[in-house]
Amino acid sequence: MAQFDEELTANVLDEPESRPGGIPLYVWVIAAVILAIPVGLYWQEGAEHLSLLPKLIIRALSALAAPLVVLAILSAIVSNDIRGRQGARMMIYYLINTLVAMGFGLVLSNLIRPGVGAKLIDLANPPVPPPRKTVTDLLIELVPRSVGDAFAQNNLAQLVLLTLALAIGLVKIRNEQQARGETTYKAAVDLLNVGFDLLMRVLLWVVALVPLAVFGVVAASVGQKGGIQVFSSLIWLIVVVLIGLSCQILWYLVVMVIFGRMSPLKFLRGATDVMASTFSTSSTAATIPITLRALSKLGISRESSQLAACVGTNFNNDGTALYQATAVLFMAQALGFPLGPIDQVIIVLTTLVASVGAGGIPSGSFVTLPLIFAAVGLPPDKIPVLLTIDWFLDRCRTTSNVLGDMTVAVLLDQTTTPIKSTVVALDEAI
């Protein structure tokens, strides 16, 4: 285990980080907010032109988001050899946790309605709500007219359908070649990984410009009459997300008692260092060695720990899914877009896929937001408003993600241990 932790730590340290000038990105974001407020107040007419900065950066993120999500999902599925009942159980646990998290986010957003009163609507050019979609429309839209059309429209449903078809085909080819002792498939896997790393590097350059987007959107919003109300509404968004994440953590503890057969206090004590590290680094990858050590101290087997904390990290993003679903409803309320039950089902499905694809992407929560906005017809140009608080909520939701990984590790170990005990007993009897 120690050797594995050292290798994993080395890999984490080699990952590129977006730290312009060697300073953490969130420090630049906070500085941008502090500087933008007086600029917007004293340069009201000219501050409106600064909105060009966030529009350009969001366009760049929108261009990168679709290929990044596709490559992230392909790389995660093809690179990880998840087989057997244990792997299937892990995916089911993650799916249930993510659906529960989005349920908390949507219910709280519909009850509290944090976006009402945000005044994001431009009265001179009010946004046009998208036409209502029927179930038939949704089914037809699953099949793209062409691969290029799916990318051009950032249609996440079509991209996922294509990605899953390619991933299943590649996994079949990989398994067949492994059975014959061939290694030709490794070239395709390496190409996917290199392609993902390449786009990740480009994304990091765009992410490094996020403070400029924050500066532009804050200055332009403050310069407008009543613009401060936008940020008072963001406080309600923070409240909704924090309540939702608290409910999600409570869900983990209930599951721990009923199915994991572990005391919640014991679990939280064991996860103290993990939570502190995750909140400070805002990275699940950087926390993996600490997570593995914490699970080891809790008596969880190495196999279950590595499967949930290492492989599962690509698929489990409960906190991210909760935040994205809440953010989309917040923006719809702020823009006066009524989202009905079908729209909210679309949000659940697209957020589920986007949160999986965002697993290996830095600041993936807002990188993939344009894809979710496009799915329900929301204009993505207002997303930079969320960046003013994203640096804080990113730490909170990442902490929830890691606690979800640890919960699944305990559940996997609990369901695997009786089987192992039975096998050992049979071997001894023979």
Per-residue model confidence as pLDDT tens digits over 225-264:
555 666 777 889 999 999 999 999 999 999 999 988 889 8
Mean pLDDT of 124-146: 66
Q: Say which residue the tokens 């089911």 belong to.
A: 92
Per-residue pLDDT band at 420 (split at 50, 70, 90): very low
pLDDT of amino acid 220? 76
**What's residue 428's pLDDT?**
38
* Least reliable range by pLDDT among 142-146, 198-202, 359-363: 359-363
Output the average pLDDT for the chain.
78
Is the predicted pLDDT of residue 3 greater than 50, yes or no?
no
Burial-class residue 429 by CB neighbours within 10 Å (0-12, 13-18, 19+): exposed
Is the separation of the CB atoms in 87 and 93 below 8 Å? no
Which pLDDT score, from 0 to 100, does residue 1 have? 42
**End-to-end alpha carbon distance in the chain:** 31
Residue 77 has pLDDT above 80, yes or no: no
CATH match of 2-12+82-187+224-422 with 1.10.3860.10: yes
Interatomic CA distance for residues 368 and 156, integer angstroms? 10
Domain boundaries, the chain: 2-12+82-187+224-422
pLDDT category of residue 107 using cuts at 50, 70 and 90? very high
Our CA angle for 296, 302, 307, nearest 5°, is: 115
Angle at 11 between CA 10 and CA 13, to 5 degrees: 65
Q: Which residues contact 254 (CB under 8 A, 6 or more apart)?
A: none
Range with lowest mean pLDDT among 46-60, 84-98, 176-190: 46-60
Does 324 have pLDDT greater than 50?
Answer: yes
Instruction: Quickly state the pLDDT bin for 7 (edges 50, 70, 90).
Output: very low
What pLDDT score was predicted for residue 363? 63
pLDDT above 90: percentage of residues in the chain: 13
Q: Is the pLDDT of residue 47 over 80?
A: no
* pLDDT attached to residue 418: 46
Distance CA 374, CA 365 (A): 15
**pLDDT of res. 241:** 95
The string of pLDDT tens digits covering residues 171-227 is 888 888 888 888 888 888 888 888 888 888 888 788 788 888 888 878 877 766 555
Distances (CA, A) of 7 to 15, 91, 244, 327: 13, 25, 35, 37
CB 213 within 8 A of CB 390: no
**Single-letter code of the amino acid located at 8:** L
- Return the half-sphere exposure (C-beta side, CA atoms, 13 A cut-off) of residue 47: 23
pLDDT of residue 62: 78
- State CA 369 to chain mean position distance: 9
Query: Residue 121 — φ and ψ, nearest 5°?
Result: -75, 130
Backbone angles phi, psi at 299, to 5 degrees: 85, 20
| 136 or 301, which is more confident | 301
